[in-house]
Amino acid sequence: NDLCVLFVRGMLFLSLTVVGIPGNATVIVAFLLLLYQEKRLLAADAILLHLACVNLLVVAVRGLTETLASFRLADIFGDTGCKSVIFIYRATRGLSIWLTFLLSTYQCLSIAPPGSSWASVRALLGHYLAFVFLFLWVLNACMTTAAILFSFSTKNETSPIDNGINVQFCYLNFPSKLSRDANGAIQVGRDVVPMALMTLASLIILVFLYKHSQQVKGLRSSGAGNGGAEQRAAKAVVALVTLYVVFYGADNGLWVYTLTVKKTMSSSLISDLRLFFGSLYAALSPVVIIASNRKVNSRLGCVAHETSAVEKIKNLSSM
């Protein structure tokens, strides 16, 4: 029975790995090609590139390691392995959330009229984007110190811990119920604050898109265009935020359930579901980016065209 559970668990995380690693790597390559060709990236593109890098880390560190451990292909989760994997996963997961919030905020500011104070805020944000990235890295690393202090391998524990949380191959063993609940509240707060703010930003974007569509309907008879790049980007951001709210909402709901129902502490089932939902966004967001971003599509098309041309030359030379 335990082997069957591990097999199902391994297959779930393998599916995340198979989708998430190639997807995020593809987005990264496309934006690096764009950077190489144009010598610069727009702020929104830089945020998307950073998001793809962070999501690649999320999937690789959690999805890949959980897959290898579930199928017993590698012995990863000793005490050091537990501390490293949980710290990197939690820090990058939090960073993924805040980068999505940053992207939605920037896109929301992009619809502000030129010359307005909001447009000035957008320009300022774009100018100091590197410092914003650094601040978010430091913030999420500092909020994840509990993973280093309280993570231990299940190999060293023979029975459930009173104030611990079982995450299959590791325990998060808190010294008291208060410290456990305080850490849980910090983790939920770190997710809920950007979730609320990015939802608000997305609602503003949706209102703008609705008003714009009404204007287009009124001008269509005179040959007006259909919205352009800003509207496509806005729709993509709303899609990413929707993915985030659904998957991380489920993750946080399960986290609150774990903290409030004591019998779930000793079982890894709820933690496994949390890890799965928490990693789904990182695995599926590149699909949305690839499907909606014309810059990514054009770079991938160029690569495919050049590869086809090279193959044709090889075939001609071998004749």
Task: For 145-171, write each residue's pLDDT tens digit.
Answer: 877 877 777 655 554 556 666 666 677
What pTM was estimated for this model as a whole?
0.81
At 285, is the pLDDT very low, low, confident or very high (cuts 50, 70, 90)? confident
At 112, is the pLDDT very low, low, confident or very high (cuts 50, 70, 90)? confident
The pLDDT of residue 267 is 57
| Residue 264 neighbours by CB under 8 Å, 6+ apart | 257, 258, 270
Euclidean distance between CA atoms 197 and 192, whole angstroms: 9
The least confident of 42-56, 126-140, 206-220, 304-318 is 304-318
At 47, is the pLDDT very low, low, confident or very high (cuts 50, 70, 90)? very high
Residue type, 248: Y
User: Is 198 within 8 Å of 241 (Cβ atoms)?
Assistant: yes
Structure tokens at 66: 């959980």
User: Is 151 within 8 Å of 82 (Cβ atoms)?
Assistant: yes
178 has pLDDT over 60: yes
Euclidean distance between CA atoms 124 and 250, whole angstroms: 34
Kindly compute the dihedral angle of the four CA atoms of residues 163, 149, 95, 54, in this order, to the nearest 10 degrees: -110
The pLDDT of residue 224 is 47
42 has pLDDT over 80: yes
Degrees (nearest 5) of the Cα angle 91, 95, 98? 145
Q: Which residue has the higher pLDDT, 17 or 82?
A: 17
At 218, is the pLDDT very low, low, confident or very high (cuts 50, 70, 90)? low
From residue 172, alpha-carbon distances to 12, 78, 147, 153, 227 in Å are 22, 13, 7, 9, 50
Classify residue 209 by burial, with Cβ atoms within 10 Å: 0-12, 13-18, 19+.
Answer: middle
Q: Which domains, from first to last, does the chain contain?
A: 1-214+228-309 (1.20.1070.10)
The single residue listed with the structure tokens 């951001």 is 237
The pLDDT of residue 272 is 76
The single residue listed with the structure tokens 């202090």 is 149
| Residue 50 neighbours by CB under 8 Å, 6+ apart | 99, 133
The pLDDT of residue 24 is 93
* Cα within 13 Å of Cα(42), Cβ side: 11
Euclidean distance between CA atoms 190 and 313, whole angstroms: 54
The least confident of 43-52, 186-195, 275-284, 293-302 is 293-302
The CB density around residue 11, as the number of other CB atoms within 10 Å, is 12
The pLDDT of residue 205 is 81
pLDDT, tens digit, for every residue of 55-67?
999 998 888 888 8
- Pairing label, strands 151-153, 170-173: antiparallel
Euclidean distance between CA atoms 231 and 211, whole angstroms: 12
Mean pLDDT, to the nearest integer, of 289-314? 68
The pLDDT of residue 117 is 85
| Residue 278 neighbours by CB under 8 Å, 6+ apart | 62, 93, 247, 248, 251
Q: Is the alpha carbon torsion for 76, 81, 84, 87 positive or negative?
A: positive
Euclidean distance between CA atoms 214 and 220, whole angstroms: 10
Euclidean distance between CA atoms 285 and 244, whole angstroms: 9
**Start-to-end CA span in the chain (Å):** 58
129 has pLDDT over 90: yes
